[in-house]
Chains A and B, each alone.
Chain A
Amino acid sequence: MDIVVCVKHVPDTTEAEIAIRDDERGIEKRGLVFDINEADNYAVEEALLLKERFGGSITVLTVGPPEADETLRMCLAKGVDKAVRLTDGRFEGSDSYATARILAEAIRELGRRPSPIGYDLVLTGIQADDDGCGQVGVTLAEMLGIPHAALVISTETEDGKMKVHRELEGGLHEVLEIELPALLTIQTGINEPRYASIFGIRQAMKKQIEALDLGALGLAEEAVGEAGSKTSLVRLFIPEVTAQATILQGSPEEVSSELLTIFKNEGVI
């Protein structure tokens, strides 16, 4: 089974302080730690599990700057066969639609080569932790003209088809059957992502990461970046606080005793 996985190199902002840039169209990236997007990490693992079972190849793609090689190299270290970074200054400002366009063109380009890289399956994470759009995967499926399923939480492969569970709300799953080639957007928790071995990391250092730009993809300049986007970021702002918790001050012992009083007053204990 030949699999293409699309990944994104994103900043971890869970516990970080965020500052909005002066132009209000981005955040200050300095000082932030970047890593593979969480859901994409599960997508890579799902690809590795499928390859272990059925053979074939895995290619990872990312749209990003040279620093994204860090994420690509980690994928190579885990057993991904080929990594391609789609990089061009003119890609900057691309929204989900334009990003999907770049990915779709790259997948087509790989398939046109003398030794083509085809695919039976395309995987993405359900959404990126930075913009949270959850849009690239399903858009890409439409551009490639293949069926898709979003929010996939388990897969089973049988004779050119897959049986997948989609996560609905309230703990409910939907089971569906989908013909390959198809695109699945992978939800976190579907598997247990492995860590790269030291040996794998060493091997990955020797592997080549291919970089493709606008020209290599044969895309027009108007098809990417802000010109190729269907939405645009007007400005970022820190959300207005409508309600805020009463913050208890003091040592752990002091706040604990204050909490105890609150619990008693509220009739909880």
Chain B
Amino acid sequence: MGEIFVLAEHRQGVLRDVTFEMLGKGQELAAAMGAPLTAMLLGHNVEGFATELAKHANQVLVVEDERLEHFNSESYQQVLAHLIAEHKPGLVLIGHSAYGMDLAPSLATQLDLPLVTDCVGLELEGGQPFAVREMYGGKVSARVAFRQADTYVATVRQAAFPVEEGAPLGGEVVAVDSPLTEEITYRKFLEYVEAAVGEVDITQADVVVAVGRGIKEADNLALVEKLAKALGGVLAGSRPVVDAGWLPPERQVGQSGKTVKPKLYLAVGISGASQHVAGMKASSTIVAINKDPDAPIFKVAHYGIVDDLFKVVPALTAQLGG
């Protein structure tokens, strides 16, 4: 297997964490294969990023083009197809992020390469890569094989791998001429829109009581709100509750919402999908109430109560004097 390529992901002047997580994993795989690790950086005025990435890779391929200032899956696909055809890497790692999900499947299809998405594990066996990914909301794991190919593509779950703080690799920064020829007119980036701030900033609270799908109905929210009040905390929620319109988007905890790190995070009726866990796992103390003993939330919680929330929440509120 040839070298390992990692697509550097950046937005609004910041290299995103998943880039370094992939480079850490990439370094481990590259060492096992005796292959070099290469970061691919696409953008406009990104010299600073190239210097930073060079510490984590043997080589940084930089494609500088003002048409790459903002992510666009169409232009990214054209550039990556060019780089992959030119260098024939053994493995290409892309973040399973809003960018990667928009890009990797069409790129792999164009180049007729096997792709495994949302990987939480990657390993080599007999020179062949295997992926581990989750199914059924994290209740089941799957070991997945790629069809034999010269180049394999994997998208990597965000925050699945740690960032390795090893000695700088001192990679070489190589400028590559942009292969983009004409303006892409059929898909154009217009602007970013920031989330509304809202009345309550849940990221600043010491106690966050978050409610999930288990609450069943909007009317039941009052029950949990009472508990939040008794604890002197704020009420937040997981995606299904916000999707249903029962809580405003600024109260959503998770990858696409807010990341919180309170002293106490109380998860009520939340199953613990990885997208949710990404937004709360750094909390000091995590308590989960859920009637499903197999709910993935119990893997991240410090304390768990396997019972009906409609019995436990009122009892707890009463003991808090609420």
Contacts from A to B (Cβ < 8 Å): 13-15, 17-18, 20, 27, 96-97, 100, 126, 129-139, 141-143, 147-151, 163, 165-179, 182, 185, 188-189, 192, 229-239, 241-248, 252-253, 255-257, 259-260, 262-263, 266-269
Does B87 belong to the interface (CB within 8 Å)?
A: no
The reply to whether B118 and A134 form a contact with Cβ atoms under 8 Å apart is yes
Interface contact B264-A266, CB-CB below 8 Å: yes
> Taking A169-B98, A260-B320 as contacts, is the C-beta distance between A174 and B117 under 8 angstroms?
no
Which among B33-41, B55-63, B189-197 touches the partner chain?
A: B189-197
The binding surface of chain B is classed by DSSP as mixed
**Are A172 and B195 in contact, CB atoms less than 8 angstroms apart?**
yes
**Contact at B191–A245, with CB atoms within 8 Å?**
no
B240-255 Cβ-contact flags toward A at 8 Å (1 or 0): 1011010001101001
Q: How far is the CA of A150 from the CA of B94 in the complex (A)?
A: 15
Q: A130-B135, A142-B110, A259-B303 are in contact. Are A252 and B239 (CB under 8 A)?
A: no
Per the bound structure, the CA–CA distance linking A27 and B137 in Å amounts to 13
The residue on A at minimum CB distance from B310 is A252
Q: What separation, in Å, do the CA atoms of A20 and B72 have in the docked complex?
A: 40
Docked complex: B135-165 residues within 8 A CB-CB of A: 135-147, 149, 158
B284 x A266 contact (CB < 8 A): yes
Among candidates B104, B116, B185, residue contacting A231 with C-beta atoms closer than 8 Å: B116
How would you classify the secondary structure of chain A's contact residues: helix, strand, loop or mixed? mixed
Beta-carbon nearest neighbor of B242 in chain A = A189
> Which of B45-53, B170-178, B311-319 sits within the interface?
B311-319
The contact size tier of chain B is 35 or more
Inter-subunit contact A142/B316 (CB<8 Å): no
B residues near A (Cβ < 8 Å) are: 11, 16, 70-74, 96-99, 101-106, 108-110, 113-118, 130, 133-147, 149, 158, 185-195, 206-207, 213, 231-232, 239-240, 242-243, 245, 249-250, 252, 255-259, 263-264, 271, 284-288, 291-292, 294-295, 298-307, 311-312, 314-316, 318-320
Contact B144 A96 (CB under 8 A): no
Query: Can you name 29 A-B residue pairings with CB atoms under 8 Å?
Result: A18-B294, A96-B105, A129-B136, A134-B96, A135-B105, A135-B117, A138-B101, A142-B105, A148-B73, A163-B190, A166-B102, A168-B98, A169-B98, A169-B158, A171-B256, A171-B258, A174-B71, A175-B189, A176-B187, A176-B188, A177-B190, A179-B186, A179-B187, A231-B144, A245-B304, A248-B305, A257-B319, A262-B303, A263-B264
B292 to chain A, nearest CB (A): 5
Q: Measured between alpha carbons, how far is A260 from B230 in the docked complex, in Å?
A: 12
Whether A256 touches B319, Cβ cut-off 8 Å, given contacts A18-B294, A236-B140, is yes
Q: Are A245 and B319 in contact, CB atoms less than 8 angstroms apart?
A: no
Which residue of the partner chain, among A27, A237, A243, A252, contacts B311 with CB atoms under 8 Å?
A252
Cα–Cα distance between A129 and B213 once the two chains are bound (Å): 15
